[in-house]
Structure 1
Amino acid sequence: MSHQGTQVEIPDEAPPRTPSGRRTGVGDTSHARSWSRGFFVKLAVVAIADAVSVYGILTAVAVQSWGVAAFLLVALVAITWVYFSRRGLPAKYLLPGLLFLLVYQLFVMGYTAYVAFTNYGDGHNSTKSDAVAQILVQNEKRVEGSATYPLTVVDKAGTVGFAVVVDGKAEVGSASQPLTAVDGATVDGGKVTAVPGWQVLDFASIAGRQDEIVNLRVPFSSNPDDGSLRTQDAQNGYLYRSALTYDAAADTMTDTSTGTVYRPDSRGSFVSPDGTALTPGWRVAVGFSNFTQMFTDSRLSGPFTQILVWTFVFAGLSVLTTFALGLFLAITFNDPRVRGRRIYRSLLILPYAFPAFLSALVWRGMLNQRFGYVNEVLLGGANVPWLTDGTLAKVSVLMVNLWLGFPYMFLVCTGALQSIPTDIIESARMDGASPFRIFRSMTLPLLMISVAPLLISSFAFNFNNFSLIYMLTGGGPSFTGTPVLIGHTDILISMVYAVAFGSGLKQYGLASAVSILIFIVVGAISWWGFRRTRTLEEL
């Protein structure tokens, strides 16, 4: 309606209010629906996470890994409480990162530190009870004059077993199940022809699984002293017994044929009086022996010292050379008088655009002594051993790393130079300062404020630049007479790989000790470097 020419609009009827005073309407219904969808999505995700945790807990309990089981139980409770409690709202964003930090950082660091104080490695992988069982198995010999058992090879869900007739009864067993009498088996001419629940393998199947069948041992009973049933032709089985016996009370291993007694030592092995050790051994704590071995073992101390010094030299020169070249090019192409700066800058970052490991492989081919492009084309057929001579290999590593690293320093220095106020530089020029004086007293200190932390991180990266060493030289040329396969261009991190995986005999304890040393060195240098960079902030 209107009054004195003024039109008054009557608002629509307001939506009703709830008892709490809030209005209800279409918007609230939409919000409720979206809230319901979000709740059910969250419920599904948390349910999946809890199911995985429960599965992990059951698996950890089955293998008696109580620490893992406890961690998964705590994680399950934390996830469920945080994501269904209003009080846990801030923790919803912290919990995933915290769990990943615990699993992928703190646990790895703690486990590496633990392994560094053990003899964990080939020959010492498991517990003492496992080692005793393996020693008895490995020293089994056929019992002279024992009976021959006509044998049938059977299979059950991928598990191979043997079926034989013992004292007129059909018995079947596998590697994990001793021979046990079965009912309903068919016997023809003293040989089992059918076993309920088991499939008799034909000749073709036996031929395809020959190695598995020949290496299979089926215990005669739960008593290890009764020996096991083995075969060489999948037709006849023979009784095998170990030539060694284990006395649990005296904790000794005795050779029944010679009478030699083997006693456990502090290194986790059974050793005879003449020093002969039985394999495998078991994992034990060895204190600081892995750390002292690098300095006391005459076969290892010399090469280790060279590798330690070369690691510092490589990391330091890599940072120095890449920074010097990158800074020089950045200053050059930061000058407005240079034409086509954008094109040149684009070309200079090309080495940085390619994966470093592929570039290292390309350089490895180019530096080949006989067929490489450098020797054949650039040097006119020269025979320079770029990668096989110790000194030249180190020079080659530094050259290739300079090629790979200077574009990064070029980009960093270009950005830092462009952030320096131009009026300061112009004021210095007007005061008569020479270009070198301006660079030394003004440009470089201002540049280092932003670049110094990156130089420290670059040093840490090159200190652990495994991919370059592995792809370019493989650590070679190798040292002679060392117990592990290490070489002149190895750095500490590639030495860790060689000790743990590349030397045939895997020594995880020694490799972990070197890893701890790397962590201490890099951490100390980074701490010192960042403290030093604080003085630049006073500028």
Structure 2
Amino acid sequence: MSTLTDDEVTELESLPPTKRQRQAARLAEHASIGVRALLVKILLLGIVDAIAVWALFILVMKEQWVIGAIVLVVTLLANWIYFSPGKLPAKYLTPGVIFLVVFQIFVIVYTGYIGFTNYSTGHNSDKEQAVSALISSAQERVPDSPTYGVTVVENLEGLGVLVTDPDGDVSVGNPDSPLEPVRNATMDGGKAVAADGYTSLSFQQILTRQNEISSLSVPFSDDPNDGSLRTPDGQTGYLYTSSLVYDQAADTMTDTATGTVYTDQGTGAFTSADGEEMLPGWRINVGFDNFTRAFSEESIRDPLVNVIIWTIVFALISVASTFFLGLFLAIVFNDMRMKGRKFYRVLMILPYAFPAFLSALVWSGMLSESFGFVNQVVLGGAEIPWLTDPFLAKVSILMVNLWLGFPYMFLVCTGALQSIPDDVLEAAKMDGAKPWAIFRLIKLPLLLVSLAPLLISSFAFNFNNFNLIYMLTGGGPRDPLAGVNVGATDILISMVYKVAFTGQARDYGLASAFSIIIFIIVATISIIAFRRTKMLEELN
């Protein structure tokens, strides 16, 4: 009986696995997972798939084909990864990559896109929706309109109406979809009361949602000039037509009451010959117009420049003041001769233990001119406008931010000081170096080696310290000469918030342009600062 040599055994082991061996390996891998873990994986993927199917149904109904295709591909890819043997790195990376794309990359890309559009109040939809909104806003009831039987219904698209005309024909529609015929509707007394795929509202539900129902306007057809159906009581409907007539071929909107013709001049709104615009308009790409406005219109440029300067000054002073105060306290409480160091250290970090937005609200009350603790108790009834005077408001912000920020610097400086080798300091003392020289030439450079990245991140944080500004002063006092909603203590991020989300005119495009400017400024300063920190690495 012959035996295999070592070379033959090595050759057999190097052969590719057979199909049966691969199946056995897969079965062994599945068996090693455990039944309970496998069931949990199936359950979690089932939930994800159910959410994806629901999202796909909604997206298909709204004809969002691109987003629907992305959701479908990602769902199929996730199922393939988690149900396939092996692929362990992909199984761990997939959730993180999905969340990164959705909550970081998409937000950044979308913000950049909005910065090049006229997206704002009055320009927040597409042209088709703007035309429908304009015609609907000028509608009046036709005097001789027939009475239509109406049943208010609801589906995934929202509220709609099930309509029975005087001839007995039944149709259904909603504000986004014109009336279309319905077959096999449930009739009651010659009136359609239910239809497949829709839920009919009860009388009590109609009363509860009366305001929403009375504002319903369902187009009669694809041509907006045919008017729409409205129901004042949820039971009967009437035809409404508009005094505005849209000519799709000429792309004009005509006001039949005045005879004025409005044309599309490429500005995202119908405009008359004398420059009067009809709102709402629609969203269009405007290129670099938002950036041009930011630096060319005096009413926007001057406040923006002032805000940029104040933001940089605020961030620099905040970082410098918190660092040097924290470093000073760290040196003091790092002295072994001080008694009760642990107790004092706990007191020093108390401001860091409270939420910053809550502390800012407390300080806002304490600095109130009329009834604040500082004026009434500390200063004996003085009426100092800490938060309403432009200069004092800035001083108040810097002082409160110092109170909030020095505990963090105290902690990191304490740790950095304790990490400096004692033999280096002892050698300097043996050479006759004075305490100030030891600090300036040895301690501070070694501290900056480890703390420079933290100082840069602290600068970036204070550059966007929205909570402090908004909770303490609200960005005020307001600048009445500015063309945008901005105050004396606003930094760029709070200015962006006000431009985008406060006031009657909200300019999302301009706010997104400001956001891009913020990114460029912070990125530039950070790059320069990180390059400078490389010089400190030579100390190691």
Question: What TM-score comes out, normalization by structure 2 length?
Answer: 0.86
After superposition, the C-alpha distances for 1:437-463 in whole angstroms (9 at most, x for unaligned) are 111001100111111110000000000
Structure 2 portions without partners, runs of 5+: 1-19, 22-26
Q: Distance in 2 between matches of 1:332 and 1:499?
A: 45
C-alpha deviation, 1:121, in angstroms: 2.0
* Distance change in 2, residues 1:111/1:150 (3 Å): closer
Q: Which residue of 2 aligns with 1:8?
A: none
1:386-535 residue pairs with structure 2 within 5 A?
A: 386-535=386-535
Question: Could you tell me how far 1:199 is from its partner in structure 2?
Answer: 6.6
> C-alpha distance in 1, partners of 2:193/2:59?
35
With over 3 angstroms needed to count, the CA separation of the structure-2 counterparts of 1:234 and 1:67, relative to structure 1, is closer
1:147 and 1:238 in contact (8 A); partners too: no
Where does 1:187-266 land on structure 2 (aligned, <5 Å)? 195=193, 208-221=208-221, 223-230=223-230, 238-266=238-266
Amino acid at match of 2:77: A
Matches within 5 A, 1:2-13: none
Tell me how far 1:265 sits from its aligned partner.
Answer: 2.3
SS at match of 2:368: coil
Determine if contact 1:330/1:410 at 8 Å carries over to the other structure: yes
- Which of structures 1 and 2 has the bigger CA Rg? 1
For 2:67 and 2:29, how far apart are their aligned partners in 1? 44
The amino acid across from 1:135 in the alignment is L
3-state SS in 2 of match to 1:489: coil
3-state SS in 2 of match to 1:283:
coil
Which structure 2 residues correspond to residues 282-293 of structure 1 after superposition, within 5 A?
A: 282-293=282-293
Mapped to 1, the partners of 2:186 and 2:234 lie a distance apart of 23
Q: CA deviation at 1:221?
A: 4.9
> Which amino acid counterpart does residue 280 of structure 2 have in structure 1?
P
What displacement does 1:86 show? 4.1
Matched, 1:117 2:120: no
Return the letter of the residue paired with 2:40: V
Aligned-pair distance for 1:57?
A: 3.7
Q: Distance in 2 between matches of 1:109 and 1:427?
A: 52
1:154 aligns with one of 151, 154, 165: 151
1:289-304 matches, cutoff 5 A: 289-304=289-304
Distance 1:517 1:33, change over 3 A: closer
Residue type of the alignment partner of 1:460:
A
Report the equivalent of 1:102: 101
Equivalent position of 2:127 in the other structure: 128
| Contact map agreement 2:29 2:85 (CA 8 A) in 1 | no
Alignment of 1:313-392 (within 5 A): 313-392=313-392
Partner of 1:78: 77
**Deviation of 1:58 (Å):** 4.0
**Cα pair 1:213 1:234 within 8 Å, conserved:** yes
**How far apart are the structure 1 equivalents of 2:324 and 2:171?**
75
Q: SS at 1:253's partner residue?
A: strand
Q: How many Å separate the matches in 1 of 2:194 and 2:498?
A: 51
1:42 Cα shift? 2.9
- Once the two structures are superposed, residues 339-374 of structure 1 have per-residue CA deviations (whole angstroms, 9 ceiling, x without a partner) of 100000000000000000000000000000000000
Give the equivalent residue in structure 1 for 2:12: none
CA RMSD of aligned residues (A): 2.9
- Size of the aligned set, in residue pairs, is 505
Cα separation, 1, equivalents of 2:213 and 2:97: 48
Cα deviation for residue 276 of structure 1 reads 1.2
Residue 3 of structure 1 is matched in structure 2 by none
Contact 1:151–1:234 at 8 Å: present in 2 too? no
Residue aligning to 1:45: 44
Q: What amino acid is the match of 2:78?
A: I
Question: Which residue of structure 2 lines up, in the alignment, with residue 11 of structure 1?
Answer: none
Deviation of 1:180 (Å): 6.4
Q: Give the 3 Å change call, closer, same or farther, for CA 425–43 of structure 1 in structure 2.
A: same
Q: Distance in 1 between matches of 2:339 and 2:526?
A: 40
Distance 1:219 1:81, change over 3 A: closer
Contact 2:331 2:414 in 1 (8 A): yes
Whole-Å separation in 1 of the counterparts to 2:30 and 2:103: 39
Letter in 2 for 1:186: G
Distance in structure 1 (CA, Å) of the matches to 2:439 and 2:371: 45
After superposition, the Cα gap between the structure-2 partners of 1:232 and 1:88, relative to the gap in structure 1 and judged at 3 Å, is: closer
- Which whole-Å CA distance do the structure 2 matches of 1:107 and 1:83 have between them? 24
Distance of 1:68 and 1:258 partners within structure 2: 43
Check 1:142–1:57 CA distance in 2 against 1; reply closer, same or farther (3 A cut).
Answer: closer
Amino acid at match of 2:523: G
Any stretches of 5+ residues in structure 1 without a counterpart?
Answer: 1-19, 22-27
Q: Which moved more, 1:347-356 or 1:45-54?
A: 45-54
Question: 1:174 deviation in Å?
Answer: 5.5
Whether the 8 Å contact between 1:60 and 1:69 is mirrored in structure 2 is: yes
Residues 257 and 490 of structure 1: is their aligned pair in 2 closer, same or farther, counting only changes over 3 Å? same
TM-score by length of 1: 0.86
CA distance in 1, matches of 2:146, 2:181: 15
Q: Shift of residue 135 of structure 1?
A: 1.1
The answer (yes or no) to whether the contact 2:162–2:194 under 8 Å persists in 1 is: no
Superposed CA offset, 1:174-233 (max 9, x none): 64453869784426xxxx7x846697976x766544423432334455543332344667
When residues 256 and 438 of structure 1 are mapped into structure 2, their CA distance, relative to the original with a 3 A threshold, is: same
Question: Percent identity of the aligned residues?
Answer: 54
CA pair 34-175 structure 1, distance change in 2 beyond 3 A: closer
Q: Aligned pair in 2 of structure 1 residues 452, 72: CA closer, same or farther (>3 Å)?
A: same
Code of the residue aligned with 1:138 in structure 2: it is S
Whole-angstrom CA distance in 1 between matches of 2:412 and 2:366:
29
| Contact 2:151/2:234 (8 A) holds in 1 | no
Query: Residue in 1 aligned with 2:16?
Result: none
Per the TM alignment, residue 253 of structure 1 is displaced from its structure 2 partner at its CA by: 1.1
Q: Find the aligned partners of 1:37 and 1:431 in 2 and give their Cα distance.
A: 69
Alignment-derived partner of residue 24 in structure 1? none
Deviation larger for 313-322 or 290-299: 290-299
Mapped to 1, the partners of 2:147 and 2:350 lie a distance apart of 72
Q: Which amino acid aligns with 2:189?
A: T
Following TM superposition, by how much is the alpha carbon of 1:534 offset from its aligned partner in structure 2, in angstroms? 1.4
